[in-house]
Amino acid sequence: MKNKTLVFTATYNEAGNIESFLKILLNLNCIDVLIVDDNSPDNTADIISNYKNKFKNLNLIVRPEKGGLDTAHKLAFEFAKKNDYQNLITLDADLSHDPRQITNFVSQLDKYPFVIGSRYIKGGQNKMKFNRYVLSYVGNKIIKFIFKINCNEFTNSYRGFNLKNLKNFEINNVKSKGYSFFMETVYQINKSGNLIKEIPIIFSDRTKGVSKIPKIESLRTLKNLLLIKLNEK
């Protein structure tokens, strides 16, 4: 019997983390899992495939090359809707997001159409290195000020969507690429008249593997932020 919640993550060269990540997911009940791997040269997909025999609700899509986070998330939305899931929860596979908090998202999705894990509300923590912490904190404050949205978190990818209750929102209308995709998704959901629920999460820096965030990404995000605001109707 198919579960009502699909948990999604995108992977590229996560061989050092994916096994620990999957072991935690295997202990959670009432979820299905979708992983989109961009043909990782470190054999991430092979490790995931080995777990498919243990976890019948694990789905794996391997793309021929790096397609970007935005297209991977759009693919997850398409998969979830095609297979009639009620909830879609997205998170990172590098263990910066604790998969054991998934149950907190599921419980809130019974009441809200969109739930985002926040590092910047009471109970939340951001354990990034100091320079990354400052950049993230200030960046989210700037986004909040420009968008005029009552939300403290825009860039974190640990989030949940109730696909049955999310109104007037189409993921393919989100045009930003890369990590700016997460910021614009919050903007579009709010613009569509949907309530946003923040819940506290603890974000930890990865201990294995290399971050995929380009150093220039903050400048790209700022540019996209201004473009969205200029094109606002």
- How many structural domains is the chain composed of? 1
The confidence band for 52, taking pLDDT boundaries of 50, 70 and 90, is confident
Greater pLDDT, 3 or 106: 106
The terminus-to-terminus CA distance of the chain in angstroms comes to 44
Q: pLDDT tens digit string along 54-104? A: 788 999 999 999 999 999 999 999 999 999 999 999 999 999 999 999 999
| Spatial separation of the C-alpha atoms in residues 151 and 87, rounded to whole Å | 21
Looking at residue 134, which CATH number applies to its domain?
3.90.550.10
Q: Could you tell me the residue range of the domain that residue 200 belongs to? A: 5-230
Q: What average pLDDT does range 157-180 have in this prediction? A: 94
Q: What is the pTM of this model?
A: 0.92
How many CB atoms are located within 10 Å of the residue 193 CB?
10
Q: Residue 106: its pLDDT value, please?
A: 96
Residue 218 has pLDDT above 80, yes or no: no
pLDDT digits (tens, 9 = 90+) for 91-148: 999 999 999 999 999 999 999 999 999 999 999 999 988 888 898 899 899 899 989 9
Average pLDDT over all residues of the chain = 90
Q: How confident is the model at residue 31 (pLDDT cuts 50, 70, 90)?
A: very high
SS3 183: helix
Average pLDDT over residues 20-49: 93
What sign results for the dihedral spanned by CA atoms 226, 228, 229, 231? positive
Q: Residue 22, Cβ neighbours under 10 Å: how many?
A: 22
